[in-house]
Structure 1
Amino acid sequence: MALSHRAPVRASVCLLLAIGSIFIWSPPARAQTRHITWTGCGISRKAFMGEIAAAYEKETGIKIVLSGGGATKGIRDVAAGEADLGGSCRQHLLGKGGAPIPEETEAQLIQVGWDALVAVTHPDNPVSSIEIDQLRKVFAGEITNWKDLGGPDQPITLMVREGKESGVGHMFRLLVLRDPGFEFAAAGAQVFASTGPIEKAVAATPWSLAIDGVSSARKTKLKLLSIHGTLPTKANVATGRYPLFRPLYIAVGSNPDPEVRKVVDFILSPKGQAIISKAGTVTLAEGANLAPLWKKIEVRLTAR
Structure 2
Amino acid sequence: MSLAMELSWVGCGITRNAFMADLAAAYHEKTGVNINISGGGATKGIRAITSKQADIGGACRFTLNMSREEAAATMVPVAWDALVVVVHKSNPIESISLSQLRSLYQGKITNWSQLGGKKQPLELLIRQGKISGVGYTLRKHLFEDPKAVFIGHQEFPSSGPLEKNVEVNPNAIAVTGVASAYKRDFKILKLEGRDPSFENIRTGDYLLYRPLYLVLSKSSPNSKESDRFIQFALGPKGREIIRNNQVVPYFDGMLLLQKRFDDWKRFIRESLAQN
* 1:236 corresponds to: 200
* 2:270 corresponds to: none
What is the CA-CA distance between 1:289 and the residue it aligns to? 3.6
TM-score where L is the length of structure 1: 0.83
Indicate how the Cα distance of structure 1 residues 154 and 219 shifts in structure 2: closer, same or farther if over 3 A, else same: same
Q: Secondary structure at the match of 2:179?
A: helix
Q: Answer yes or no: is 1:108 the counterpart of 2:74.
A: yes
Letter in 2 for 1:179: D
CA distance in 1, matches of 2:2, 2:253: 39
Q: Secondary structure at the match of 1:247?
A: strand
Aligned residues: 264
Q: How does 1:136-215 map to 2 (within 5 A)?
A: 136-186=102-152, 189-215=153-179
Letter in 2 for 1:130: I
Q: Secondary structure at the match of 2:164?
A: helix
Deviations 1:257-294 (A, max 9, x none): 21111111110110011100111100123323432235
Q: How does 1:212-291 map to 2 (within 5 A)?
A: 212-256=176-220, 257-291=223-257
CA distance in 2, matches of 1:229, 1:183: 26
What is the CA-CA distance between 1:79 and the residue it aligns to? 1.1
CA distance in 1, matches of 2:195, 2:144: 22
* 1:85 corresponds to: 56
Deviations 1:46-86 (A, max 9, x none): 11100001111111111000000000000111011111000
Among 3, 20, 41, the residue aligned to 1:70: 41
| Aligned 8 A contact 1:80 1:106 in 2 | no
What is the CA-CA distance between 1:139 and the residue it aligns to? 1.0
Further displaced range: 115-124 or 176-185: 176-185
Q: Secondary structure at the match of 2:252?
A: coil
Larger radius of gyration: 1
Q: Answer yes or no: is 1:133 the counterpart of 2:99.
A: yes
What is the CA-CA distance between 1:34 and the residue it aligns to? 2.8
| Aligned 8 A contact 2:96 2:189 in 1 | yes
Q: List alignment gaps of at least 5 residues for structure 2.
A: 267-275
| Aligned 8 A contact 2:211 2:250 in 1 | no
CA distance in 1, matches of 2:263, 2:63: 15
CA distance in 2, matches of 1:89, 1:185: 22
Q: Secondary structure at the match of 2:250?
A: coil
Letter in 1 for 2:240: A
Q: What is the percent sequence identity of the aligned residues?
A: 43
Q: Answer yes or no: is 1:94 the counterpart of 2:58.
A: no
What is the CA-CA distance between 1:183 and the residue it aligns to? 1.3
CA distance in 1, matches of 2:184, 2:151: 27
CA distance in 2, matches of 1:180, 1:229: 26
CA distance in 2, matches of 1:285, 1:79: 26
Q: List alignment gaps of at least 5 residues for structure 1.
A: 1-29, 96-100
| Aligned 8 A contact 1:277 1:283 in 2 | yes
CA distance in 1, matches of 2:185, 2:149: 29
Q: What RMSD over aligned residues (CA atoms) do the two structures have, in Å? A: 1.8
| Aligned 8 A contact 1:88 1:249 in 2 | yes
TM-score where L is the length of structure 2: 0.91
